[in-house]
Amino acid sequence: MCGIVGYIGKNDAVPVLLDGLRRLEYRGYDSAGIATLFDGRVESRKRTGRIANLAELLQQSPAPGRIGISHTRWATHGGVSDENAHPHHDRSGRLWLCHNGVIENYATLREQLATDGHTFEGQTDTEILAHLIGREYDALSQPAGKARIVEALRSALKQVVGTYGIVLMHADVPDCIVGARRGSPLVLGVGKGENFFASDVSAIVAHTREAVYLKDFDIAVIGSEDFEITSLLGGASGFEVSKVEFTADDVSKGKYPHYMLKEIYEQPDTLRDAMRGRLSREDASARLGGLNMTARELREIDRIILTGCGTAAHAAMCGEAIIESLAQVPVEVEFASEFRYRNIPLPRNTLVICISQSGETADTLAALREAQRKGLRALGICNNVASTIARESDGGVYMHAGPEIGVAATKSFTSQVAILTLLALLIGRIRHISPMEGLRIIEELEALPDKVRTILAQSDHIRAVAEKYAQSKAMMFLGRQFNYPVALEGALKMKEVSYIHASGHPSAELKHGIIALITPEVPSVVIAPDDSVFEKNVSNIEEIRARKGPIIAIGTEGHKARLRQVADDVILIPACPDYLAPILTSIPLQLLAYHTANALGCDVDKPRNLAKSVTVE
């Protein structure tokens, strides 16, 4: 949510900043801006809309300089306009700032600054922050230099309530950029004769694979040859230079027209990577050392709470069904945004698991902290290794799915469900799953990547189905048992990328009200694999057919003939046990949403109003 890139070094700043912004555009695309420092003055360029608009402006009106900061915005405070685009400056026009996060007390600070005679160009909380730091800077008597700017920042941030990842530069101090974080991610890229700041390492991985993931309350100052990290609370702050796991190629679209399609096609590999080294035939179980829990501690768990947002919450719902079925441990799913404010009973032996691709979702992070505050063990299932949730959790499992850039989550969903299945196997084996049964589950898990390939091979057929229904005003997604969460996820994917209204429901709930919406213009996608409720699903299909509603059935190869009798269109998956069906049934729905959006000419990777990581509440 909002992307920041800062650069200082031997090269022109603008190409580095623009390239970084393009790679961060998934974090927000309402407006973009750049400020560079050249010859003692700041040049700034801002434009509403995509990075391409800013690039065009920079072509017409170049901004020279080897030091610069830049931002791509997802609007929170203040509408989408050129004035509200970052970077923002202070009263002197010499201090410039980009910010990701929310300054909660900005209205009070704005009033105080206005009383002191400050005037503002826009309505953002960030502009207030720039003025506040500038006021502190001007009030200091020490000579211009890094120490003064850091002192001003420190004193301003102590007055701020809220979250921030910020980079700033001052025309008086042309040999450094200063960054700080609290609650919003910021990474320092260590180069040779150049250094970087970015919200996400994918923005700078083309230039360096050495990174320092800043912690809350860190203040970092980068020059072209060196950097220094201190703490807002005083003194030096410990840090580690980490090797970035992926390369610039991993964050490119490669041969695919969209990241979403690339990521859908990566799933045979990402599923394998989620399971790699974690299945033990010797134990007939899963090995998840990162949980930091002994078998005895796992045995003592009476209840599990799975929490996350959006797609991660749907993966959690799949996990609920899988863990309860395989491990027989009661599981509850809470939206992280609700969990943080609810006062639910949390008995001692409750284990909380926070699921988040980015590991930075504000609501999920708050849920993690709330669980820990209440004395519970809180684990994380994250993709982003250096993320805040990964660092603050008491243990967890990494997804190893590689960067997910498409705003619509795809491969992260199947990886999350696969990891929750490993957890179910592990907990189940400690309780009642026999070694024979454990081995059978392992074999089924290992067979998944090939099964996914057979589904991906049907992409052309799914495209034809998508084109047939692309003009629909609404769509229903129906599923039962393990596949009810998949219906929710299928509807979310369709809404996000194609803007067709879609809703997911348990198939049998249809007759309790939803059936009123069925008409020949409203297609229903019924997820009906070969499971214990297949016949029930067929009955639900018949009810829709009787009202002339078109039906797209997602079913198992062995039921091809039967499904073709009752459905208008059929998409097939290979046979699998009930508990693994969500991983397979979700993939045709991802492709259906993708092809529908394409048929409608929607921007698949950057759907309107959305951002990839929701780092504000």
Whether 358 contacts 333, CB under 8 Å: no
Residue 309 Cβ vs ligand AGP, minimum distance, rounded to whole Å: 4
Contact between 274 and ligand AGP by CB under 6 A: the answer reads no
Contact between 402 and ligand AGP by CB under 6 A: the answer reads no
- CB-based contacts of 185: which residues, under 8 Å, 6+ apart? 100, 165, 199, 200, 213, 214, 360, 387, 388, 615
Tell me which residues in 72-91 interact with ligand AGP (CB under 6 A). Answer: none
> Site map for ligand AGP, 132-171, x if CB under 6 A?
----------------------------------------
- At 212, phi and psi to the nearest 5? -115, 120
**Exposed / middle / buried, residue 417 (Cβ in 10 Å: 0-12, 13-18, 19+):** buried
Q: Which of 72, 163, 270, 361 binds ligand AGP (CB under 6 A)?
A: 361
Contact between 298 and ligand AGP by CB under 6 A: the answer reads no
Contact between 529 and ligand AGP by CB under 6 A: the answer reads no
List Cα–Cα distances, 60 to 5, 14, 55, 267, in angstroms. 22, 13, 9, 42
Residue 31 or 613 with smaller CB distance to ligand AGP: 613
Q: Name 68's bridge partners.
A: 7, 36
Contact between 357 and ligand AGP by CB under 6 A: the answer reads yes
Contact between 613 and ligand AGP by CB under 6 A: the answer reads yes
Residue 106 Cβ vs ligand AGP, minimum distance, rounded to whole Å: 24
Count residues contacting ligand AGP (CB under 6 A)? 16
Give the span between the Cα atoms of 341 and 335, in whole angstroms. Answer: 10
Q: Which of 352, 409, 442, 576 binds ligand AGP (CB under 6 A)?
A: 409
Which residue blocks in 266-357 are alpha helix, DSSP H? 267-275, 295-299, 310-327, 336-339
Residue 613 Cβ vs ligand AGP, minimum distance, rounded to whole Å: 5
Tell me which residues in 56-75 interact with ligand AGP (CB under 6 A). Answer: none
Give the span between the Cα atoms of 141 and 138, in whole angstroms. Answer: 8
Q: Which of 1, 67, 312, 593 binds ligand AGP (CB under 6 A)?
A: 312
Residue 553 Cβ vs ligand AGP, minimum distance, rounded to whole Å: 24
Residue 185 Cβ vs ligand AGP, minimum distance, rounded to whole Å: 11
Residue 301 Cβ vs ligand AGP, minimum distance, rounded to whole Å: 23
Q: What positions carry a catalytic annotation?
A: 2, 612
Q: Which of 63, 103, 180, 408 binds ligand AGP (CB under 6 A)?
A: 408
Residue closest to ligand AGP (Cβ): 310
Whether 611 contacts 1, CB under 8 Å: yes
Which amino acid would we find at residue 531? D
Contact between 352 and ligand AGP by CB under 6 A: the answer reads no
Contact between 358 and ligand AGP by CB under 6 A: the answer reads yes
Give the span between the Cα atoms of 216 and 239, in whole angstroms. Answer: 12
Instruction: Give the residue from 24, 157, 358, 41 showing the smallest Cα distance to 33.
Output: 24
State the CB neighbour count (10 A cutoff) for residue 573: 24
Tell me which residues in 481-510 interact with ligand AGP (CB under 6 A). Answer: 496
State the CB neighbour count (10 A cutoff) for residue 234: 9
Q: Which of 3, 9, 191, 310 binds ligand AGP (CB under 6 A)?
A: 310
Contact between 614 and ligand AGP by CB under 6 A: the answer reads yes
| CA angle 559–316–420, rounded 5-degree value | 80
Q: Which stretch binds ligand AGP (CB under 6 A): 307-315, 345-353, 392-400, 588-596?
A: 307-315
List Cα–Cα distances, 172 to 41, 43, 227, in angstroms. 9, 14, 18
Contact between 291 and ligand AGP by CB under 6 A: the answer reads no
In three-state secondary structure terms, 112 is helix
Residue 498 Cβ vs ligand AGP, minimum distance, rounded to whole Å: 13
In three-state secondary structure terms, 599 is helix
Residue 565 Cβ vs ligand AGP, minimum distance, rounded to whole Å: 34
In three-state secondary structure terms, 466 is helix
Ramachandran region of residue 101, left (φ > 0), alpha (ψ -120 to 50) or beta? left
Q: Which stretch binds ligand AGP (CB under 6 A): 200-208, 325-333, 351-359, 530-538?
A: 351-359
Residue 540 or 585 with smaller CB distance to ligand AGP: 585
Instruction: Give the residue from 280, 330, 277 showing the smallest Cα distance to 301.
Output: 330
DSSP state, residue 349: T
Binding-site ranges for ligand AGP (CB under 6 A)? 308-312, 356-358, 361, 364, 407-409, 496, 613-614
